[in-house]
Structure 1
């Protein structure tokens, strides 16, 4: 059936249905008139778009898939941002009075296994004469796997020196403190996502007294262990710009997903449109022919030269029909000259 004729029939049927519904609504009660009118409008809308269903369904699926693709793209960017290695820091609570120098165990979590870190310890000690008189003391760090296998260890000496005068100390009397930054490991790679660290401060000869009887034990206000990311190679480029890397990953995921979605759905729409166009092209159409000024070529006349007597007799027989002449030529055709071929 012709597509145009079918569309005209659908429109005529739709007009008739609307007119019939309008006449029926005029006789119904006012309470049912508005719901029925809305129902008829919705039904009419569906009838109008029914011929375009094969084209609209892929477009609707494509439009509904866009929010899903955007959500997964943002999730991919968030996952990349969470996966990029960052620095870490943990607070240490030292143990005193066990007959050993101040020590503590601390869990190191969420480590990037193959990301190098610079590990250091930040110590805040009171500015007291006992800490000044202690002199050099050792800071020991040992890192173990969860199965108690040693990964790395380091020992560094440190000393507490009196802080210099500050303008604020002249205004009011405050508890003065000394901040120590002790580097321990450089470009350390744990190879594990979780590890345990043992840290110890002080001297092994702390049992000996100093000055007025103080022991050789370091007084500490707070301790923190810190790991700083070492930017090295391509991984270092990512760790230096984590937010930009996450945005680029999200954009790349969105582009690839959108390209795949479009290549899967839009060709169906294009195929439907081409099929409709092909149906419309099948309609009969009288195309006017262009007049040419060239004269028509006359058909060639066939002429057979009488190279033999029999051929000449056959040609002459076509122009003579009386019996006497026919008998004469038949007699000549029976002579030996008739056997002469072309």
Structure 2
């Protein structure tokens, strides 16, 4: 029996040694990184990283577009101008022009008028003349309406202007010097006047408080000759508008980063909240299925541990069983001998003795020992002899 157990144990040791061969060890070492790469945790990490990167890119694009829209709405044009087509006839020369949405509320503007006047005798004889400029919230219904009579007037200003004086000698020398330019057409005998009409004017909030049209008029006793007239609006930036206009790249990086960071924080908070809600919303059946799966895994693990522990503990259990059986066999044999002595004593005293009683008891006890040993050995029906 001990030899058979040693043989089985040796067979199992050979199998374990064959399993732990160098080739299998090398294969396991090479496959270990691959198992880590394709594991479920790694797949979850890949999906999470891809979602995070795509969300970051999308939010970065949204931040860029948002800053561009904010810049257009918050920072107005630094300057623009409108050409005024003067009307001549009865009264002073005058003209109107429409203003679109270039102007912004609470933004200081400098308004100026640019006139190009020829140096004609009438213009030189006019001396000082007045420039009249009025801003309206809505286009005027009639072009002949006076600026002061309009009920939608927002701002009004009158400023003086005059051509530069030159003595006859200086004027003659200047004309002779520039004669080639006048002949070739590169210059003409004209003077450009730039007259500031309004300084730092601001408009209150609301679209009704922003100018949508203007009316310009030249007031002079003499009949004026004019080449062209323009009204120019120049924004005077202060505070954040000045920073955003003069430091455009830095402002773009700072404000876009701030918008992107706030968006990422709120997206992360929303993601965590939704994940917690979905986790807590699992049904009882899903939880029972998970518990059953965990129980099956635990049972499988325990069975594997028992099978591995049974190999090492089987030899000790068999040895203990053999010692117990030997002890019980010795006690049975002793009782049988005692019964045999008692039978012989009964024959001497006249009592009848039944032949074969000790032998039957010994055979019965031996058969019981053999059955128990067969159960211990797992169904092995080999014979058992008692020395």
Secondary structure at the aligned position of 2:196 is classed as strand
| Deviation (angstroms), 1:156 | 0.7
Q: Does 1:200 align with 2:217?
A: yes
| Deviation (angstroms), 1:157 | 0.9
Moved more, 55-64 or 157-166: 157-166
Q: Does 1:96 align with 2:105?
A: no
Relative to the length of structure 2, the TM-score reads 0.49
Secondary structure at the aligned position of 2:178 is classed as helix
Q: Which whole-Å CA distance do the structure 2 matches of 1:134 and 1:78 have between them?
A: 50
Report what 1:124 is aligned to.
Answer: 116
- The answer on whether the counterparts of 1:81 and 1:242 sit within 8 Å (CA) in structure 2 is no
Counterparts of 1:128-147 in structure 2, within 5 Å, are: 128-146=120-138
Secondary structure at the aligned position of 2:203 is classed as coil
CA deviation profile, 1:165-195 (whole Å, cap 9, x unmatched):
3897154324122111111111111233442
Counterparts of 1:170-189 in structure 2, within 5 Å, are: 170-173=179-182, 174-189=187-202
| Deviation (angstroms), 1:259 | 3.7
Report what 2:55 is aligned to.
Answer: 65
Query: Judging changes above 3 Å, is the alpha-carbon distance between structure 1 residues 80 and 124 closer, same or farther for their aligned structure 2 residues?
Result: same
Q: Size of the alignment, in residue pairs?
A: 218
| Deviation (angstroms), 1:224 | 1.5
Unaligned runs of 5+ in 2: 1-36, 140-150, 276-293, 303-387
Secondary structure at the aligned position of 2:237 is classed as coil
Q: Which whole-Å CA distance do the structure 1 matches of 2:48 and 2:249 have between them?
A: 36
Report what 1:157 is aligned to.
Answer: 160
Q: Does 1:56 align with 2:46?
A: yes
- The alignment's C-alpha RMSD in Å is 3.6
Query: Judging changes above 3 Å, is the alpha-carbon distance between structure 1 residues 97 and 223 closer, same or farther for their aligned structure 2 residues?
Result: closer
Q: Which whole-Å CA distance do the structure 1 matches of 2:252 and 2:122 have between them?
A: 51
- The answer on whether the counterparts of 1:87 and 1:226 sit within 8 Å (CA) in structure 2 is no
CA deviation profile, 1:127-154 (whole Å, cap 9, x unmatched):
3222111211110011111275111101
- The answer on whether the counterparts of 2:137 and 2:210 sit within 8 Å (CA) in structure 1 is no
Q: Which whole-Å CA distance do the structure 1 matches of 2:71 and 2:267 have between them?
A: 25
Report what 2:224 is aligned to.
Answer: 218
Secondary structure at the aligned position of 1:161 is classed as coil
Relative to the length of structure 1, the TM-score reads 0.54
- The answer on whether the counterparts of 1:81 and 1:243 sit within 8 Å (CA) in structure 2 is no
Secondary structure at the aligned position of 1:118 is classed as strand
Counterparts of 1:80-91 in structure 2, within 5 Å, are: 80-82=70-72, 83-91=74-82
Q: Does 1:78 align with 2:95?
A: no
Query: Judging changes above 3 Å, is the alpha-carbon distance between structure 1 residues 242 and 172 closer, same or farther for their aligned structure 2 residues?
Result: same
Q: Which whole-Å CA distance do the structure 2 matches of 1:194 and 1:143 have between them?
A: 6
Counterparts of 1:221-260 in structure 2, within 5 Å, are: 221-242=227-248, 244-260=250-266
Query: Judging changes above 3 Å, is the alpha-carbon distance between structure 1 residues 105 and 241 closer, same or farther for their aligned structure 2 residues?
Result: farther
| Deviation (angstroms), 1:199 | 0.7
Query: Judging changes above 3 Å, is the alpha-carbon distance between structure 1 residues 251 and 51 closer, same or farther for their aligned structure 2 residues?
Result: closer
Q: Which whole-Å CA distance do the structure 2 matches of 1:167 and 1:113 have between them?
A: 51
Query: Judging changes above 3 Å, is the alpha-carbon distance between structure 1 residues 86 and 242 closer, same or farther for their aligned structure 2 residues?
Result: farther
Moved more, 179-188 or 85-94: 85-94
Larger Rg: 2
| Deviation (angstroms), 1:121 | 0.8
| Deviation (angstroms), 1:67 | 2.0
Secondary structure at the aligned position of 2:261 is classed as helix
Report what 1:272 is aligned to.
Answer: none
Secondary structure at the aligned position of 1:58 is classed as helix
Q: Which whole-Å CA distance do the structure 1 matches of 2:66 and 2:97 have between them?
A: 32
